[in-house]
Amino acid sequence: MNQRHLIFDVAYTSVLKRAIKFCHIALDELNLLWIPTVNTQINTKLLKYIFRNRSWRLNERMLGALQGMSKEDSFTKFGKCQVKLWTTSFDIPPPESICTGPKPLEFDSRYAHLDINLLPKTESMKDTIERVLPFWHDEIVPSIKKGKRILVIAHLNSIRALIKHIDNVPNDKVMDIDIPTGIPLVYELQASLVPVRKYYLADTSEIAPLLAKSIIPDTECLRDVHKRVLPFWCDEIVPAIKEGNRVLIVTHESVLRALIKYLNEISDEIIADINVPPCTPLVYEFNEHMRPIRYYYLTKEEQNKQQTNTLGHA
């Protein structure tokens, strides 16, 4: 940001220590430690001033019972597929914490001025968005409309919430938003707050590997495979079939299960029970609406039958 000679008038961040430290480092590098980070807002018994520009609404998503756990520990306790469902779904939150980990937010002095009912015990991505947007509308937007240049330093999911709102991202695409760590994302907005330009403060050659790395999963359950495979089916295979092409797909067992699940409308509960015989072709015949009218494995008996029918028409 310093090399691009960016100047900011106001900085916003969460009340979490890592965001505050990063904000301090960034402003120090920009020689902007003097810009406003404190405003008068609420009188309490303990505080005459509160950090209005450091808001709990910009905190990272509250993961309830998963809060503070490593990925490996959460997989061991709850199961990989269940954890993946909680962390990658738009509107399915993890269970609430049983209070055996970090202290509940209501006992944290950073939240002493808040109504206890506002503090989340667990959140889905949908809940996180609903928490973040009031701060956008009530604090950030008025500053922008006054001509202020704004710096927001927050966390993966609170930034996703802002991007979803600014770019009008559909609900089912929010969790696909990739945000490279530590690389500033710049928005240039019209007076109506519609973005006219959006770019990362880094060369394309620097950004591309980071985005590619975030797209390639470290591990997957069958639900993840299903989610990954379907866009290719819809965007590539279906158009080829509709053009009258006869399509051959050579792939792997879990990918085939994902396609079979979709085509045969099989429930999540029995997807793992789908039997996919190795090296045995599976043939689907579709109607004009891409619904299966017939499907069968091309066993030796079926191949002999097909060959007999071909000879009969010769």
How is residue 85 annotated by DSSP?
Answer: H
What would the pLDDT profile of 70-99 be if each residue is shown by its tens digit?
989 999 999 988 999 999 999 999 999 876
| Mean pLDDT over the full length of the chain | 83
pLDDT in tens, 224-237: 888 889 888 988 89
pLDDT of residue 209: 65
Provide the pLDDT for residue 282. 93
Which structural domains are found in the chain, ordered by start? 1-60+123-216 (3.40.50.1240), 62-116 (no CATH), 222-311 (3.40.50.1240)
> CA 173, 177, 181 angle in degrees (round to 5)?
165
Number of Cβ within 10 Å of residue 94's Cβ equals 25
Q: What is the pLDDT of residues 158-181, one digit of tens each?
A: 999 999 999 999 998 899 888 888
More confident residue, 271 or 248: 248
Is 110 annotated among the ligand-binding residues?
Answer: no
Across the range 202-218, mean pLDDT stands at 65
| pTM of the predicted protein model | 0.65
Between 6 and 278, name the one with better pLDDT: 278
What does the pLDDT look like over 143-162, one tens digit per residue?
999 999 999 999 999 999 99
CA dist 192 and 137 (Å) reads 13
Q: What pLDDT digit, counting tens, does each position of 96-147 carry?
A: 987 655 566 777 888 888 888 888 999 999 999 999 999 999 999 999 999 9
**Helix spans in the chain (H):** 17-29, 71-78, 80-88, 125-135, 141-145, 156-167, 204-215, 222-232, 238-242, 253-264, 300-312
User: Known binder of ligand: residue 198?
Assistant: no
Mean pLDDT of 3-12: 81
**Of the candidates 49, 46, 28, 29, the residue with the CA atom closest to the CA atom of residue 38:** 49
The distance in angstroms from the start CA to the end CA of the chain is 73
> 279-309 pLDDT, tens per residue?
899 999 999 989 999 999 987 765 555 544 4
